[in-house]
Each structure stands twice: as C-alpha cells, then as structure tokens.
Structure 1
Amino acid sequence: MLNAEKLVILDRDGVINHDSDNYIKSLDEWAPYPTSITAIARLTHAGYTVAIATNQSGIARGYYDEATLHAMHEHLISLVEAEGGRIAHIAYCPHGPDDNCRCRKPLPGMLLNIQQYLGLASLTGSWMIGDSLRDLQAGEAVGCKTALVRTGKGVKTEQKGVGLEKSKVFDDLAQFVEWLIK
C-alpha cells in the first residue's frame, strides 16, 4: 500500500516544463526543463510515487483541445519512462477561472482526485510542488507539505512573499529532488 509520505504531486507548467503567458497550446510548444524529466525519474528510483495536478484552462478558452493535452501528457510519460521513471496519475482541470468547478487550484479537487485514484486515506505528509501560490494553497488545504520552485512563475511568487510561510523554496524541481532524497 502506498504511503502518503512517499507521494510527490507536481504542478506541470512552470515546474516540469516551460510556461507561457500565452498558454502551451501544442506538443511543439511543450518543452520540459532540462533537468525535470531526470528529477522525476530520480523520485521513482528513490521509492516515491509521482502524480501531476495541472490547471489547463486553455481548453475552456478554446486554445487547444483535450486530445492535444493528452498528446502532451503521453509525450511527458514516455520521456519519464525512457529514464526509468513513472508518473502514477495526471489530474487536470479543463475549466476556466469563472466556471465554478471544484478542481481548479487553489481548490484541492485535483489533489483529492489523485488521493482517490491512488487509494490513499489522506494526503497528509505528501508533497505538493508548484510555481504559484495557488499550487501551494491546494496542497496545504489537504495536508500536503509544500515547496515552491523558482522556475515558471516561481520567482514572481517568491517576490510577493505572501503565503509562503509553510513552504520550502528551491531553484527548480531537480534541486528539490536532490534535497528530498538525501
């Protein structure tokens, strides 16, 4: 049985891959950070389960469709598997900010989806890694430990300095993983 303390939940855009204020709308635009795929594989090798929780309002806005999103995720999974890693589950919110859904971060719906999918009694002690305050808020709402990465929108989030009291801060996902597995 999976131990919640061995679960790391990652935001996608800005943590695993480069982010864009214009949205990542195609597989061609999806570009992982040079060390992120290896970092995910290292987590797997160290006995951690990795899941992803990603807001994808570009679907609601009509910038791309779910088939395109699935192509990006299939590519991500294949890159991670090529390095011996595994992504246990990808939860995504296709809704816009005004759709009043329960899944869009900072609400914890996607994290609860991951919890249910993985059969965990709780997420207390798991990690939520993100580049924005809403990622950290979603994690804190369900008892996750949180870490901010300075990639993506992370530097701007850190500069605001609001809501980071409980979070650790790292330059990128690879630095977090290095710290975690030591």
Structure 2
Amino acid sequence: MSDRANRLPDADEIAAINARHFADTPLRPADLLFVFGTRVDEELRAETAARLWQQGYFRHAIVSGGVTPGAELSECTLIKAAMVRRGVPAERILEEHRAMNTGENVQFALPVIDAALGLANVRSLICLGNSWTARRYAMTVHRHWPEVEKMLLTVDGFGVPRHVWHTHPEFRRRVLREWDKIEPYKAKGFIAEWP
C-alpha cells in the first residue's frame, strides 16, 4: 500500500473527487447488468442486483470475477449464488470466472456476452461495483466497448454518506488509491474518458 493513499486530501481534491470520480448516473431499464466481482461486500452487491431485477432494470446480467488468493470459489460463483437466493433467475445470469482485475472483467466478459446475447443486441448496460472504484468501471467498459450506452451504480458498506468518504480512514484510503489510478490508466490505454 502506498503512503500516498494514506494522505489527507485538501478541500480542492475532495471537491474534485466528489464531482468527477463518483459518477453514479440516473438509471433506466437496460439490456444488461454488468456485476463486477469483489472480495468485499459480495452480499451487498447481490442484494443491489436483486433489487434492480425486481424493479425491472435489466433483462440479463453478467457476473465477472475469478478465484482470488486464499479463496476456493470464484467471485462470480459467490455473487451469482447470492443473486439467485434473492430471486434473480439463474438462467438470466451469465458467468465469467477468470478475471482478476477490472480490465480482465471486461475483456473476459465480452466473448461470454457475445456468445449468449450478441454484443450488437446489447444497447445499454448498468455497471455495478464498489463506490471507491467509481467511474473506472464504466471507463474500462468504454475502452473496450464504446458503442454500448453505459450507466453506473456503485455501493459500499462503510456506513457513512459518500460525500464524507474522506472522514472514514479505510474509505478514504480506497478512494485515493483508485483516484490516483485514473490518469496513469488513461495514459496506458487501459481506460477511456467517460462520461
């Protein structure tokens, strides 16, 4: 963990992060829910996906995430099972079990989506992931699949309002670590500017 992620941001950096990094969008029904794997808050992620399903926000979902160090099951397996327990039909959930990072989530999921649904048939998607990673999910999708309309919904279990993320030490560390990745990742071509 870098010391930089442990810094105390000033008011200007907090304002910039609040304005540009946390990029939840208005939601409308989409063709696909893209659930990014996680090692934390799996149940919250699944609960949110199930709520979106019950409210009619997607017709199909894909869960992407591999087996992380020390785990026996893939992130995909755990999250999909939790979604099914909450009422999302298993046959509506596509699976990707190899990805170990956000770039791989998208790169490995695209052929799965294409085989099952046809990429051209998916015109809109909702990205669901951690609040601290924020717009990097949609920026990664935009880099590899610019044609699809992207919406973003992020969740976290920190128990503090998102606009005061900087007051919670672990939330602050995670946000700053992700915020610091944006420009280097754009420069390397891992992500593309969005929105």
TM-score by length of 2: 0.49
Aligned to 2:71: 63
**Which residue of 21, 24, 31 corresponds with 2:43?**
31
Higher CA-based Rg: 2
State the superposition RMSD in angstroms: 4.0
Q: Deviations over 1:64-105 (max 9, x none)?
A: 235x85354223113124xxx6761232232546xxxxx813
User: Which runs of 5 or more structure 2 residues have no equivalent in the other structure?
Assistant: 1-28, 166-174, 184-190
Assess, with a 3 A threshold, how the Cα gap between structure 1 residues 95 and 10 changes in structure 2: closer, same or farther: closer
TM-superposition CA deviations, 1:148-174 (whole Å, max 9, x none) = 33424997389667668533xxxxxxx
Letter in 2 for 1:8: L
Letter in 2 for 1:10: F
Residues 117 and 80 from structure 1, CA distance in 2 versus in 1: closer, same or farther, beyond 3 angstroms?
Answer: same
Higher fraction of helix: 2
The aligned counterpart of 2:97 is 93
Q: Unaligned 5+ residue runs, structure 1?
A: 14-18, 98-102, 168-182
Measure how far apart 1:129 and its partner are.
Answer: 0.9
Name the CA shift for 1:53/1:73 in 2 (closer, same or farther; >3 Å). Answer: closer
Counting aligned pairs with the same residue, the percent is: 9
Which residue does the alignment assign to 2:33? 9
| 2:64 aligned counterpart, secondary structure | strand
3-state SS, counterpart of residue 155 of structure 2: coil
Conserved 8 A contact 1:128-1:139: no
Equivalences for residues 73-84 of structure 1 within 5 A: 73-81=80-88
Amino acid at match of 1:136: A
- Give the TM-score of the pair, scaled to structure 1: 0.52
Local SS of the residue matching 1:80: coil
